[in-house]
């Protein structure tokens, strides 16, 4: 899951980014309104935390521009503007949630969890397919009920495949959603993480639970694939 934090107070921005990174998300940051709009239009983020009072461009204008092109990306406004009229304006312009400053990191994280689950119509904190389970809060994977220790990237790949059951996910899509901008995204590096993930799951399951459909991408093996 890939997030963008737009916030001009660097310390707040970096604190949010660190805590979300620790919670398992890939996180980019932006301190300026105009730059933020460029990033948003160029990349495919799952969720954006958006401040309103920004240098360069107001957050509300960014939101309106984004919504003309894209209804999918979730937007959580995080602003010191706390009047009811501000909240109504933000939600009417297409924000999915609105939080007022000062705020608690724990609440922000909970709201982000809720919004990103909603994107994939996933109500449970645990994702599941056959003998594989993934706990999205604890960031733990299980195969046949046994915990399988995975790296951060392997967790990200498994989570994304479980959120997209039933369809193949291409390498390019995995790079967009599981990697952040700081990582150079060779397809080779995806292959390395993917094969290590498959090897670890296979060692517990006795079979490889990931299918690689040539020209389409990767998907979790389901009943209908057997």
The two three-digit tokens of residue 76, written as one number: 């959580």
Minimal CB distance to Ca ion: which residue? Answer: 53
Q: 28 in helix, strand or coil?
A: strand
> Which residue number, 16 or 150, has a Cβ lying nearer to Ca ion?
16
Q: How far is the CB of 8 from Ca ion (least distance, A)?
A: 5
Closer CB to Ca ion, 15 or 53, in the complex: 53
Nearest approach in angstroms of CB 55 to Ca ion is 8
Least Å from the CB of residue 127 to Ca ion:
35
46 vs 51, beta carbon nearer Ca ion = 51
Instruction: Give me the least distance between CB of 85 and Ca ion, in Å please.
Output: 19
Alpha helices, H only, the chain: 10-22, 33-42, 59-69, 84-92, 105-119, 152-163, 171-178, 187-205
In DSSP terms, 115 is beta-bridged to: none
Closer residue to Ca ion, CB minimum distance, 52 or 132 = 52
Torsion angle of the four alpha carbons 147, 149, 153, 156, in this order, in degrees rounded to the nearest 10:
10
d(CA 200, CA 198): 6
Binding site for Ca ion (CB under 5 A): 8, 51, 53
């Amino acid at each position: 899951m890939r997030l963008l934090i737009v916030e001009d107070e660097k310390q707040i921005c970096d604190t949010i980014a660190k805590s979300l990174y620790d919670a398992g998300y890939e996180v980019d940051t932006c301190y300026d309104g105009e730059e933020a709009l460029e990033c948003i239009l160029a990349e495919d983020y799952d969720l954006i935390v958006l401040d309103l009072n920004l240098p360069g461009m107001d957050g509300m204008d960014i939101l309106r521009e984004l919504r003309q092109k894209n209804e999918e990306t979730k937007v959580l406004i995080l602003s010191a503007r706390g009047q009811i009229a501000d909240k109504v304006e933000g939600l009417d312009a297409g924000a999915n949630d609105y939080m007022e400053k000062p705020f608690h990191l724990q609440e922000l994280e909970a709201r982000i969890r809720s919004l990103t689950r909603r994107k994939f119509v996933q109500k449970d904190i645990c994702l599941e397919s056959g003998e594989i389970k993934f706990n999205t809060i604890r960031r733990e994977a299980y195969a046949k009920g046994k915990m399988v220790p995975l790296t951060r990237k392997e967790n990200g790949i498994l989570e994304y495949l479980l959120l997209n059951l039933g369809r193949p996910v291409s390498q390019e899509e995995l790079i967009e959603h599981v990697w952040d901008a700081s990582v150079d995204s060779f397809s080779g590096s995806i292959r390395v993480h993917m094969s290590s993930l498959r090897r670890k799951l296979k060692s517990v399951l006795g079979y490889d639970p990931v299918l690689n459909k040539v020209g389409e991408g990767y998907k979790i093996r389901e009943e209908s694939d057997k």
